[in-house]
Amino acid sequence: MAASLPPSRPRIPGSGLAKGLAVTLRTMTKKSVTAQYPDAQPDLPPRTRGVIGLFEENCTVCMLCARECPDWCIYIDSHKETVPPAAPGGRERSRNVLDRFAIDFSLCMYCGICIEVCPFDALFWSPEFEYAETDIRDLTHERDKLREWMWTVPAPPALDPGAEEPKELAAARKAADKLAAQQAPPAAEPHADEQARAAERPTRPQGDSQQQTDQPKPGQEGSE
């Protein structure tokens, strides 16, 4: 014998509308999660993959990033230069000089392989993402643009207390010191300036100090 179906409840007119209004009221009382971009900037995680910055001083034109890029969207041109020997009697060396470094962000899939494989820490992730263009060709960022992104790369997280300083940091500090020494003005100039300033500085007459000590101290007046 077949089981009989439960009797269907009578439908109350307007119940659907009431349910819909209840959902609307519930939602209205909850806090909104919509981000009002671009008026409010999003709070991005520190490891956001926005755009790639190039620190070209570290790039040795080894071509590893261009070869490993799955999209083949890194373009590098270079030429060789002969460097004279560092010491007399030494051998001349040849080195690669970067002529062009560009990344086509219309092809890039933000996999990060180029950054991972770079053996010289020349590529970094920046969280900047506002570089949409109306012309797709403008999404090929040349080396100057890639360098500009470098200044938006966040600082690395702090080392654990007592941790050994990474070799990269020591090397970067050495390179920065060397660059600062090259760009610093000759040592004689600030010295001459200092001497000129010292000559212009008014000197206190010697009698002043005596005058000051001769002044009666508060509380001494009238004691004599």
Binding residues for ligand SF4, rule: CB under 6 A, are 59-65, 69-71, 73-74, 76, 103, 108-114, 118, 120, 122-123
CB of 127 to ligand SF4, least distance (A): 14
Other Cβ atoms closer than 10 A to 102: 17
CB of 182 to ligand SF4, least distance (A): 22
Q: How far apart are CA 139 and CA 145, in angstroms?
A: 10
Nearer to ligand SF4, 69 or 153 (CB): 69
Nearer to ligand SF4, 113 or 150 (CB): 113
Q: Give the H or E element holding residue 209.
A: helix 206-214
Q: How far apart are CA 105 and CA 49, in angstroms?
A: 12
Q: How far apart are CA 122 and CA 80, in angstroms?
A: 19
Nearer to ligand SF4, 42 or 70 (CB): 70
Q: How far apart are CA 103 and CA 125, in angstroms?
A: 13
For the chain, what is the radius of gyration of the CA atoms? 35
CB of 13 to ligand SF4, least distance (A): 60
Q: Which residues are annotated as a binding site for [4Fe-4S] cluster?
A: 59, 62, 65, 69, 108, 111, 114, 118
Nearer to ligand SF4, 168 or 194 (CB): 168
